[in-house]
Amino acid sequence: MNMMRAGFVGLGNIGKPMALRLAAADDIELWVYDVAPEPVAELAAAGGKPAASVADLAREVDVLCVMVRDDEQVRAVAEDVDPGTVLVIHSTVAPATPADLAARGLSVLDAPVSGGPMGAADGSLAIMVGGPEDAFAAARPALEAMGSKVVHAGDLGAGTRMKLARNLIHFVSFTAVTEAQRLAEAAGLDLVALGEVVRHTDAVTGGPGAIMYRDTTAPIPEGDFWRGVFDHVRALGEKDLALAISLADELGVDVPLAREALPRLGEGLGLE
């Protein structure tokens, strides 16, 4: 069995459980580095090999995974990486950063993750990867040890762009939730119970991802299967949004996202 030699830099809340998944893999020899000694000791106990510096780690590995705080730290790590090592950037960075590093002669993949510490711990992360096919193939065993959904999104930078699109949904939805909570509170409802209902039904329906099956945002032509499906979605959505806005007006609650969503829903679905 050929052993992959992998390194991991950045053993924080998500990086540490990701690295622990690599340490548990039978076909991966793992080297680790972090400025904090405690997570390094934990990884060493799990079978990882501590490195004294990023440069020392980079000399030992074929694939170097990075999960640090920001672009500046990613660039600092990259300073010590040789062109022969595949640098896998798991941090969410500016879309131009991976290409900037590749322009210096490095083999780079941008591979941000979604799923949080829980997904990292149980190996169920979604990992969105951008970069050349050969680098993706070289890193794939490590990626599949850390995530249950590994998507090669396209050329370098595509993984980061996909992560930003995914998180746009995430945080706009969070903002919508705060709006709904204010409405529910004004209506005298139990917010904890509402949250339980939301999590339950999203687990059944797929939440916002339930409408994400088309491969284009172009208008849906007559006779297309999705037109009937989304006509139904629009009818329900416009009715319920109108009722929610009416309730908000009655209770004096500001719901700007709901007011924006109502006239945009049909067009966004491809119906207008």
**Beta strand pairing call for 125-130 and 113-114:** antiparallel
Amino acid at 218: A
Give the catalytic positions in this structure: 163
Backbone dihedral region for residue 9 (phi beyond 0: left; psi -120 to 50: alpha; all else: beta): beta
- Answer yes or no: are the C-beta atoms of 156 and 110 closer than 8 Å: yes
Residues across the chain: 272
Residue 153: how many other CB atoms lie within 10 Å: 20
H or E, element range at 259: helix 256-269
CA angle 143, 145, 147 (to 5 degrees): 65
**CA 11, CA 211: separation in Å to the nearest integer?**
36
